[in-house]
Amino acid sequence: MIKKIKGTYDVYGNLSKKHDYIKKLFQAVCENYNYSYIETPFIERSELFHRGVGEATDIVTKETYDFIDRGGRNNTIRPEGTAGIARSIIENKLYTTLPLKLWYLGSMYRYERPQKGRYRELRQLGVESYGSNEPIMDAEVISMGVNFFKELGIKNIKVIINSIGGVETRKKYREALISHFKKDIDNFCQDCKDRINKNPLRILDCKIDMDNELIKSAPSILSYLNDEEKNHFEKVKDYLKVLDIDYEVDSSLVRGLDYYTNTVFEFKTEINDFGSIGGGGRYNNLLSSLDGPDIPAVGFALGLDRIVDTLDALGINLNLDDAIDVYLLTITDKEDDYALDLAQKLRMCGFKVDLDLSKKNMKAKFKESDRYKSKFTIIIGEEEIKTDTLTIKDNLTKEEKKVDYDGLIDFLDTNI
């Protein structure tokens, strides 16, 4: 028997209904904010992620699924969504009309140790907003995530924010971190030893050494911000207060990708088994680093897998309407043609309809109608066909009534 690959899982049954509900709700929230959908390929040139995400990031050095195709080209299965969308914006010149507000969803692939809320195929929902460096855009993007979680019923979302400044600020901070960690770097994990010269900010994000006192006593990047960066961060916080969004400043928050600048943030809940359930920030230099125009941007990505786990852990039941509108029940095989034609007409009018396709007996047909949670069961027999009337059973009240064939649509429109 062939089994699924480690770190992946199948989506079916009630889980598929949860995924569908969450995706539709996210789409609705994005549309309320005037965001448009974008979809990019699963496979991109490896160079895109090396340049966009960062050569020294864990994603690029440890987690990407890379392969050489038959043409000898280096390709990567996408580990995250932002770099691919940036490539699409540049290639398709989507930047000619700004602001550009986009949302996406899909699977990403990272080779890492599978655990609760962390998979090798991870499903993400995200937004990208291009065209403004104003702090009001940072606040609006953060509010999208918060409001989406509230719509899901996750009330106690904590927003963790920080500013990591621009390129010059991070250069100065980088030197400060090297000076702080270098003398005791042998007390850290091998990854941090490798990071000390390549990308010391990643040490602050280390999951292995997170309790090391040197990390806790590391200098704060907020002390290195210039006046413009400080003002930007203060205005972001002011706007969050206007929106009545609770936040906490954490100067050790740096996020795991190199393209971030200035504002970074994460969404956390009271369930801390797997850390944040999403996060993002500004990436003002991303397009220009990929040979595109110099256009500022901000966005976030949310983990669909972690959202589901969080809902389950908090005991939040989604309002999953998995009932069908109508189940067509035939008395004998002679009515099958009539039932099939009626099912077609009802479906084309937008009703959710099913019927017996496997020649069950009458008792089994009624059970199937119950299993599908149908609002109405329409019983079709020889008499119904002769008189152009239909026997309709309301499965909530258990009442039956006769409805003329020509009046069926009006009846269903009124009662569903």
Encode pLDDT of 370-385 as tens digits: 999 999 999 999 999 9
Instruction: Please report the pLDDT score of residue 303 as a whole number.
Output: 95
Domain that holds residue 359: 326-415
> Burial, 157: exposed, middle or buried (Cβ in 10 Å; 0-12, 13-18, 19+)?
buried
**Residue 382 included in any domain:** yes
Instruction: Please report the pLDDT score of residue 394 as a whole number.
Output: 95
Looking at the fold, whether 231 and 351 belong to one and the same domain comes out as no
Q: Structurally, how many domains does the chain consist of?
A: 2
Instruction: Please report the pLDDT score of residue 273 as a whole number.
Output: 62
Looking at the fold, whether 367 and 393 belong to one and the same domain comes out as yes
Looking at the fold, whether 259 and 377 belong to one and the same domain comes out as no
202 three-state secondary structure: helix
Looking at the fold, whether 67 and 19 belong to one and the same domain comes out as yes
Looking at the fold, whether 274 and 335 belong to one and the same domain comes out as no
Looking at the fold, whether 143 and 37 belong to one and the same domain comes out as yes
**Residue 243 included in any domain:** yes
Instruction: Please report the pLDDT score of residue 56 as a whole number.
Output: 60
Tell me the C-alpha distance between 314 and 333, whole Å: 49
Residue 394, domain CATH: 3.40.50.800
Looking at the fold, whether 145 and 40 belong to one and the same domain comes out as yes
Looking at the fold, whether 88 and 237 belong to one and the same domain comes out as yes
Looking at the fold, whether 232 and 363 belong to one and the same domain comes out as no
Label the pairing between strands 353-355 and 326-330: parallel
293: Cα within 13 Å, side-chain hemisphere: 16
Q: Tell which residue, 173, 172, 198, has the closest CA to residue 185.
A: 198
**Residue 308 included in any domain:** yes
Looking at the fold, whether 247 and 390 belong to one and the same domain comes out as no
Q: Which of 253, 283, 313 is a domain's end point?
A: 313
User: Which residues in the chain land under pLDDT 50?
Assistant: none
**Residue 191 included in any domain:** no
Q: Which of 313, 346, 366 is a domain's end point?
A: 313
**Residue 3 included in any domain:** no
**Residue 61 included in any domain:** yes
Instruction: Please report the pLDDT score of residue 405 as a whole number.
Output: 94
Q: How much of the chain is in helix, strand and coil states, percent to nearest 5?
A: 45, 20, 35
Q: Which of 313, 344, 363 is a domain's end point?
A: 313
Looking at the fold, whether 78 and 142 belong to one and the same domain comes out as yes
**Residue 303 included in any domain:** yes
Tell me the C-alpha distance between 279 and 265, whole Å: 5
Looking at the fold, whether 134 and 39 belong to one and the same domain comes out as yes
Residue 128, domain CATH: 3.30.930.10
**Residue 197 included in any domain:** no
